[in-house]
Amino acid sequence: MSEALLAPEAGTGATAPAPASGARQFWRRLRTQRAALVAAVVVALLVLVALAAPLLTAIEGQDPGTYHPDLIDSGRGGVPIGSFGGISAEHWLGVEPQTGRDLFARLVHGARVSLGVAFAATFVQVLIGVGVGIAAGLGNRLVDQVLSRATDVIVAMPLMVLSLALMAIVPSGFPRPVLVALVIGLVAWGSTAKIVRAQTITLKELDYVAAARLSGWSTWRIARRELLPGLAAPVITYAALLIPLNITVEAALSFLGVGVKPPTASWGQMLTSADVWYQAAPQYLLLPAGALFVTVLALTVLGDGIRTALDPRAASRLRIGTGQKREGRA
Amino acid sequence: MSPIPDKAHSLVHVTDLVVDFGETRAVDRLSFTLDRGAALGLVGESGSGKSTVASALLGLHRGTGANVGGEVRVGGIDVQEASGAELRRLRGGKAAMVFQDPLSSLDPYYAVGDQIAEVYRVHTGASRRAARARAVEVLDRVGIADAVRRARSRPHEFSGGMRQRALIAMALACEPELLIADEPTTALDVTVQAQILDLLHVLRAETGMGLLLVTHDVGVAAESVDDVLVMRYGRSVERGPVREVLGAPREAYTRELLGAVPRVDSPREASAPVRGDVVLEAVGLRREFGRGKRAFPAVDGVSLTVRRGETLGIVGESGSGKTTLGRMLVGLLDPSAGEIRHGGDPSPGGVRAGVQMVFQDPVSSLNPRRAVGESIADPLRARGEHDDAVVRARVRALMERVGLDPAYYGRYPHEFSGGQRQRVGIARALAAEPRVIVCDEPVSALDVTTQAQVTALLAELQEEHGLALVFIAHDLAVVRQVSDRVAVMRQGRIVEQGSVDEVYGAPRQAYTKQLLAAVPALDPEAAARRRTARGELAAA
Amino acid sequence: MRQSSVIARRVAAASVSLVLAAGAAACAGPEDPGGDDAGNGAGGKPAKGGTLTVLNSQPQVDFDPARLYTSGGGNVPSLVFRTLTTRNREDGAKGSEVVPDLATDLGKSSKNATVWTYTLKKGLKYEDGSPITSADVKYGIERSFAGELSGGAPYLRDWLIGGDKYAGPYKDKSGKGLESIKTPDERTIVFHLNKPEGEFPYLATQTQFTPVPKNKDKGTKYEEHPVSSGPYKVVENENDGERLTLERNPHWSAKTDPERKAYPDKIDVRSGLNSSVINQRLSAGQGSDAAAVTTDTNLGPAELAKVTGDKALASRVGTGHFGYTNYLAFNPKVKPFDDPKVRQAISYAVDRSSVVNAAGGSSLAESATTYLPNQKSFGYTKYDHFPAGKSGNPKKARELLKEAGHKDGLTITLTHSNAKDFETSPEIATSIQDALKKAGITVKLEGLEDNDYKDKIHSAEDEPGLFLAHWGADWPSGGPFLAPIFDGRQIVKDGANFNTGFLDDKSVNDEIDEINKLTDLDAAAERWGALDKKIGEKALTVPLFHPVYKRLYGKDVKNVVISDWTGVLDVSQVAVK
Amino acid sequence: MTGFSPGRTRLLRGMTGFSPGLTGLLHGMTGFLLRRAAGALVTLLAISVIIYAVFYIAPGDVAQITCGPRCSPAQVAQVSEQLRLDDPVYVRYRDFLQGIFAGRDYSTGTGTEHCAAPCLGLSYQSDQQVTQLILAKLPVTGSLALGAMVMWLILGVGTGVLSAWRRGRVTERVLTAVTLAGTATPVFVIGLLLMIVACGQLNWLPFPQYVPFTDDPQQWAWNLLLPWLSLALIEAAKYARLTRASMLETLADDHVRTFRAYGVGERSIIGKHALRGAFAPVIALSANDFGSMFGGAVLSETLFGLPGMGRELVHAVKVVDLPVVVGMVLVTGFFVVLANAVADVLYAVADRRVVLS
């Protein structure tokens, strides 16, 4: 691999960050990666499914809430009657043990919650992370000290503990998925902040930022006009990798009993109730697990794609998925 | 220095070499030969394809998607046809390459000695111990003191010159017949450059290996090769013995090229001392970096004055603190001690519209995501000019003035050449209607022809607006060309200050002398004389 | 109420199956083959020796007889602690009888059951060989009044004269101790109660009636090594009861203890395990797991579904019952539940079959129409005042709502816990929600974190209008099942209140007093049953189901006894050789 | 920059004439460590305050929970007096701090015990000294984290190298997919399935239970193998990608071009130069993950029934056992902070161009 040799002597382009005019360029670069394209299509489909959940279930003629006691064998712990978890023309993916609720319906509605929560949580993380990161990167030593300390604190706090506590504090009237998203966002922005801070510090050393200062702009204006665009690439990339992580975090919270609550379906919450059914009703576990896998796979591959497309060299400068609180997953 | 005659067959034989990177043709039907022991200089400006040729000699384009045509024979091996194994034997064995940036060209994680040893073992299959010994030997050979110990240090513990020596040592390790040096001194200070060139000279004389020197610096070529091949757009412009080509160029382009090269010895109309009033004054400036034990002063007690309409040149080698000084002058950095006065009154610190800067790197000095017009408009808008029409009109005028097509207002930096970007930078500085512009290495990233144009532009602007310029550069020749007064910096201090004629004509400080002696000359005889002179200076 | 207490004290971070605490009682339902099957299933005559492994999810955090909240003395604790009386260690129905343990008999009552006198057997010794005296029993009981050692059942406090004032031996410097307990001699102990309590022998099975030698008392540290009066002594207690090793107590003699068989030489208790892992290990039966049982984990629905498909495994499943009822509770102070018609409508509307399914299916839960558990010892009297059939009677419900003036439906809030216990948990709540929809009742679910939930439902002020609740028997009788919930004098304003229906009905209160006077437990049981039926008419609760427990045990386990007092496989009877 | 502590490390590329050797590095390090220690202290204090605050407003009547639901108001009052719950929160916090630095005495009813500094107080639930509680759990989580780290390094880095080498080929795609499968599946699913198959059906491994290393090293490892594997499977992808990324970055570096230009074979370039480039970020990241494992292995500890910190912590939160929560969070926080520092030091040692500041 001798990109180094390929690069023309002037060495521009390869080292310069991608220009905004490079939106076209971005698509061109993205299009060259087949894997990323496939992933993009998959993600698009998933989002579509999530959005169209009610429609899809209507087509199937089911809804995620209705019980079908007749479809389960009460004597045997409520295992679905019939082969493959009671798959039938009415119930495309079979029914849920113990309740007989339609699995397809729950799966597609689950997609809504899981994806929704993940996206929202990521949004919050990025929002806080970028804010804190830039402020720390641009601010004077004191500001930096304080914010970096705050970041350390949030990073050093076990996610689960805070989540459990916060979930308990917030009145139960509060819509659960929103709460879950908020909590994840509020306790896991540390890594984003750190990355943004680092990136800001690198960027602000660049001559064009110095030039902007010389022309007399305020720090705020400089942050907005000169830095934010430069941060876009790493942040978008990192966000693309946070989303799948957040999906699994949502699952973990459900496992600990502080996630999304029934009757709302979420993949994580399905997984947690399904894990004991692996033998008696395998598809009950395999469906959400499979869905989760495909999503995470697609999002991660897409994330890589975006990263390479946005900034080939920075690709590896921005390490993947690091820093995210691991509790989510262990 | 006469090449060892060996007419058996030439060492390098290139016929109709064509290299395409996708659509762009980097090298276009180039042919040349290099006899054993001879030295050929490939001279050209950026984009002329000279480095691509160098890589082609070692077949480094293989598997990169580059499209190579024509025939390349090195030491009898047909590089195009050679098998992987053959090629590996050629690389480093028959022909070794020395790269431009000595730091990035060595593996930061391994000891220099080990890296040389590794190469040696690949080619000789020698034992570890033997390879180490060889490494020390060659390191010693290229003049690295205490080679045994230094062989154990990592590249970042070496100075730039030592690294380049280490690279050369690596090249020598397997006693190649051909040494390919790709811009071997571009990243080095002028004194170090001289040392390296001398080293190459000596080595050639001793080992009798052939040398292919790729460089953009005509002077460097003049110093060290017998023949030159001037390239442009991947084609050969002119080829011949150094003396003829540089002495009496036949091609227009060659003449243009030579004309643009600034010299330290060319005749120069004595500039009358400028008597404008002082617009910028620095008193006892000091700036430290790092805290506690690691603190070191980058600038240490510098005082200077800049008068209206004059150009103050500041020369110094890397690490001399000239950039730090520049940033303090414009207020991007606050001094740890001392103060800056604008037109007499002490400045509260921080930036001042009256003092602007032109940066070294045309790539990083413009926001890649904003139209150049917008960048130029910044100072205007920042000053509170909200009427868009007014702003645009003013920006267009400025662009026109610096020689840019106003139609490019909406274009993005990556669509411009280095020289054009620098013009944008200048326009942006002008927009603030400054009294002083500090230019930090404004032309060092540019090709000589472009350099000349940009320096000329600066001179004109100075005339028009009675600007005061602070011109910071490492290139003594350029500084001499543009400055009225010169300050020579070393280790954060100004060692010598005075009018150009004083400093260049009759340098008082040994360091200044050393610098001047190191500047490569265009004519080979002069070069030879200087080489001996340098020897004496070093001896003294 | 022991369940929730234990759950509160030790919520396993993610236990997916019901967690049953130590001990309980009941009488064999006719459909209960569990024990006998199991007994023979393992085959062969039980013999002494070997090591029994106990795989539990809840660690024995409290191993201090004063702090334990058990009935019948618990499982592992009852291997170490002997009490005045204890549960009959027999399978099924007979297991719900109370029998003498340290005492020679069930106690002699006088002054119409306000004074109870017990005599200790001869030759009783602690693990160190020193004799057990009646004073030690008294001291053991007194300790349980100390704030440091809180956690036990409330009865001693409520029944013993001066119990409500007494603050335990550590605070009380008089040296006389609790004067309502007299020990005229080494072997005699007399209890003076403030009101008739015919069921005192049942109470005497609780670990608070374990002798504690005063000179060995280390206060809160006592639980690290409680002095054994039973067949086994503690030789290891790691990580706060997570790993216990019990070995034979040489000074225990089977002669004085006909109840505990104590076959294994060693008992190795490993707790803190995930429930599905416990069942996995029991079914796989690797190495020591072959001789393993669990005292707090039963088969969840998923596991049951798998086990029933496997003959070999199915033969290793014992069935247990335990006096326990899950129900919907109304707070008649909150509209619209102040209107009996609304309460009745909801009673008609519930779909018990789907509730049962949510709770694990018909093998793990029996739908309930009575508040009292369906066991003879409770005086079970069948009734179904608001017949909802298998899957609810929405039609009737709508009618009642119309009469109550809610012709176009009704929207109510159902409060439940977020704990994953499949009793008060979201799964059950949603099944109710689904059923009431058919009756035109829209149910909004209010899921609270477990602590919050418990605070609320037991607080006189914040008690929600409709919520999921359950009640477990402190001993197999109607008393502890009905009194705390329906006795008007037990309404607590400034603390944990359990009379969630705020029923204060003189006739009910009087009947409770009357029954308490009876020392003939069978006669008492009958009247409890009648009382339950009577209270049922008030529709203050909607009984949902009584849980059934399927207990898997290792393949080398013999002499499986699951009494209906505890519904748990009795570790004191198990043999592994 | 890697996620571990961007910004705190600075590359000295091109800054000539200024290069700390190992001695210089260590020299600079003392100051760095001191600054870090100070920072850590502040961080931990902040954490403890936050936890106190959060739990102060969290619902759940501690006294009632501790006393048991059937306790009479009188008894509850007794307990809450016993647990000093009646004192204002700041007083309790003060006592807590005092305990840490001076230790404190407490009554067992029959006598008084001393809880030596650093005393994190007593558990409401079990009357145990939190310090001892933690000391009992620490080795478990420690073992878990350590083994898992080794595993994910083997799995992750191995995969990373292979996919960097076979980049663009089928091998890489497969490897990527496999490792991602790990990331995509929650540990409680992977772990359970592994346990069913490996322990339940194939009897390859024992059902995990913690055997102290000191008792029987072999059993210790044998029992923890499964948890290690499950955790490693989840982390592997991250490391594979990190390794691959930094290897590709290095492969694009000039010095790799140098060695190619000197006829050095691809194998040695990948295995020696490129891999060495991935070294620093990988160990640094590992140190971080290792640190956060201490509070973070909740799920696996719960699933495998390992009596570790994470599980204890979550339990303590559920029963509002404030002293335990604060104690545990502080300790886990301490490990994270420590790991961060270690990560930077390791990074600096691995890559001498880095200056700690």
Q: Mind telling me how many Å the CA of A19 is from chain B's nearest CA?
A: 5
Tokens of C471: 């009640």
Q: Is C143:C215 a contact under the CB 8 Å cutoff? A: no
Identify the bridge partners of residue C248 per DSSP, sorted by sequence position.
C232
pLDDT in tens, B472-524: 998 888 898 889 899 999 988 999 999 888 888 888 988 898 888 888 877 77
Q: Which range is least confidently modeled, A1-10, A144-153, B442-451, B509-518?
A: A1-10
| pLDDT, average across residues C499-525 | 93
Q: Which of A43, A109, A106, A111 is CA-nearest to residue A283?
A: A106
More confident residue, B21 or A160: B21
Residue with tokens 């009460």: A74
Altogether, the residues listed in chain B come to a count of 540
Handedness of CA A65, A69, A74, A76 (dihedral sign): negative
CB contact under 8 A, A97 and C302: yes
**Backbone phi and psi for residue C365, each to the nearest 5 degrees, phi listed first:** -155, 140
| pLDDT, average across residues A52-69 | 86
Q: Which of C316, C263, C295 is CA-nearest to residue C45?
A: C263
The predicted structure's pLDDT at residue B347 = 64
Residue B533 has pLDDT above 80, yes or no: no
Interface test with A, best of D4, D201, D269, D336 (most A CBs within 10 A): D336
First to last CA, chain D: 15
Q: How confident is the model at residue A330 (pLDDT cuts 50, 70, 90)?
A: low
| pLDDT, average across residues B371-375 | 88
Task: Tell me whether C147 touches chain D (CB under 8 Å).
Answer: yes
Q: Which helix (H) or strand (E) holds B151?
A: none
Count Cβ atoms within 10 A of the Cβ of residue C222 and give its class: 0-12 exposed, 13-18 middle, 19 or more buried. buried
Q: Mind telling me how many Å the CA of C272 is from chain D's nearest CA?
A: 6
Angle between the A23-31 and A282-310 helix axes, to the nearest 10 degrees? 130
Q: Which range is least confidently modeled, A1-15, A98-112, B130-144, D35-49?
A: A1-15
The predicted structure's pLDDT at residue A23 = 66
Q: Is C198:C517 a contact under the CB 8 Å cutoff? A: yes
pLDDT in tens, B102-150: 778 888 888 889 999 999 998 888 888 999 999 998 998 888 888 888 8
| pLDDT, average across residues D204-215 | 84
> ∠ CA(D279), CA(D281), CA(D282), 5° rounding?
65
Residue A14 has pLDDT above 50, yes or no: no
The runs of H, that is alpha helices, within chain A are 3-6, 23-31, 34-51, 53-60, 83-86, 103-138, 141-156, 159-169, 176-187, 190-204, 207-214, 219-222, 228-255, 267-274, 282-310, 314-317
**Backbone phi and psi for residue B491, each to the nearest 5 degrees, phi listed first:** 50, 50
CB contact under 8 A, D3 and A1: no
Q: Kindly give, in sequence order, each residue whose CB lies less than 8 Å from that of residue B414, ignoring residues fewer than 6 positions away.
A: A12, A13, A16, A19, A21, B368
Task: Tell me whether A217 touches chain B (CB under 8 Å).
Answer: yes
Between CA B515 and CA C168 the distance in angstroms is 96
Tokens of C216: 């060995």
Task: Tell me whether A318 touches chain D (CB under 8 Å).
Answer: yes
CB contact under 8 A, A275 and C276: yes
Q: Mind telling me how many Å the CA of B55 is from chain D's nearest CA?
A: 8
Q: Which helix (H) or strand (E) holds C172?
A: none
Q: Which of C158, C165, C168 is CA-nearest to residue C193?
A: C158
- Pair type for strands B436-440 and B355-358: parallel
Task: Tell me whether A142 touches chain B (CB under 8 Å).
Answer: no
Query: For the domain A36-315, what is the CATH code?
Result: 1.10.3720.10
The predicted structure's pLDDT at residue D228 = 92
Contacts of D180 in chain A (CB under 8 A): 293, 296-297, 300-301
Tokens of B362: 């045309």
Tokens of B385: 């000019």
pLDDT in tens, C190-239: 999 999 999 999 999 999 999 999 999 998 889 889 999 999 999 999 87
Q: Is A256:A57 a contact under the CB 8 Å cutoff? A: no
Between CA D134 and CA D136 the distance in angstroms is 5
Q: Mind telling me how many Å the CA of B149 is from chain D's nearest CA?
A: 13
Q: Which range is least confidently modeled, A247-256, B99-108, D170-179?
A: D170-179
Find the closest chain C residue to A272 by CA distance.
Answer: C16
Residue A4 has pLDDT above 50, yes or no: no
| Alpha-carbon separation of residue D252 from B106, B155, C31, C294 (angstroms) | 13, 18, 76, 60
More confident residue, A19 or B26: B26
Q: Is D92:D84 a contact under the CB 8 Å cutoff? A: yes
Please give the full DSSP string across A71-104, using - where no structure is assigned: GEEGGGTTEESSHHHH--SSSTT-B-TTT--BHH
Q: Is A280:A191 a contact under the CB 8 Å cutoff? A: no
pLDDT in tens, C451-495: 888 888 998 889 999 999 999 889 999 999 999 999 999 898 888
- Establish, for the pair of chains A and C, how many residue pairs have beta carbons separated by less than 8 Å: 116
Interface test with D, best of C7, C11, C451 (most D CBs within 10 A): C451
Tokens of A128: 């806080």
Q: Is A256:A160 a contact under the CB 8 Å cutoff? A: yes
pLDDT in tens, B27-68: 889 999 898 888 999 998 887 888 889 888 888 888 777 888
Q: Is B535:B199 a contact under the CB 8 Å cutoff? A: no
Find the closest chain B residue to D251 by CA distance.
Answer: B107
Residue B349 has pLDDT above 70, yes or no: no
Mapped onto helix, strand or coil, the DSSP state of residue D4 is coil
Q: Is D333:A157 a contact under the CB 8 Å cutoff? A: yes
The predicted structure's pLDDT at residue C574 = 94
| pTM for this model (two decimals) | 0.80
Q: Which of D312, D291, D276, D324 is CA-nearest to residue D96?
A: D324
Contacts of B379 in chain A (CB under 8 A): 214-216
Report the b/e string of C43-56 with b at 16+ CB within 10 A.
eeebeeeebbbbbb
Q: How confident is the model at residue B2 (pLDDT cuts 50, 70, 90)?
A: very low
Q: Which helix (H) or strand (E) holds D202?
A: none
Q: Which of B115, B162, B123, B158 is CA-nearest to residue B142?
A: B162
pLDDT in tens, C59-96: 888 899 999 988 788 899 999 999 999 999 999 889 99
Q: Mind telling me how many Å the CA of D253 is from chain B's nearest CA?
A: 7
The predicted structure's pLDDT at residue C539 = 93
Residue A320 has pLDDT above 60, yes or no: no
The predicted structure's pLDDT at residue D335 = 86
The mean of the pLDDT values for chain B is 85
Q: Is B45:B232 a contact under the CB 8 Å cutoff? A: yes
Query: For the domain C324-549, what is the CATH code?
Result: 3.10.105.10
Q: Mind telling me how many Å the CA of D340 is from chain A's nearest CA?
A: 9
Other beta carbons within 10 angstroms of residue B59's beta carbon come to 25
Q: Which of B473, B521, B444 is CA-nearest to residue B197?
A: B521
Q: How confident is the model at residue C500 (pLDDT cuts 50, 70, 90)?
A: very high
Domain ranges of chain C: 50-270, 324-549
Residue D352 has pLDDT above 90, yes or no: no
How many CA within 13 A on the CB side of residue A2?
A: 21
Between CA C489 and CA B528 the distance in angstroms is 117
Q: Kindly give, in sequence order, each residue whose CB lies less than 8 Å from that of residue B4, ignoring residues fewer than 6 positions away.
A: B36, B37, B208
Tokens of D346: 């390791």
The predicted structure's pLDDT at residue B277 = 83
CB contact under 8 A, D255 and B170: no
Residue C26 has pLDDT above 60, yes or no: no
Query: Quick one: C50-270 is in which CATH superfamily?
Result: Periplasmic binding protein-like II (3.40.190.10)
CB contact under 8 A, B432 and A214: yes
Residue A300 has pLDDT above 60, yes or no: yes
CB contact under 8 A, D310 and A160: yes
- Establish, for the pair of chains B and D, how many residue pairs have beta carbons separated by less than 8 Å: 96
Decide: B and C in contact? Rule: 3+ Cβ pairs under 8 Å: no
Q: How confident is the model at residue C264 (pLDDT cuts 50, 70, 90)?
A: very high
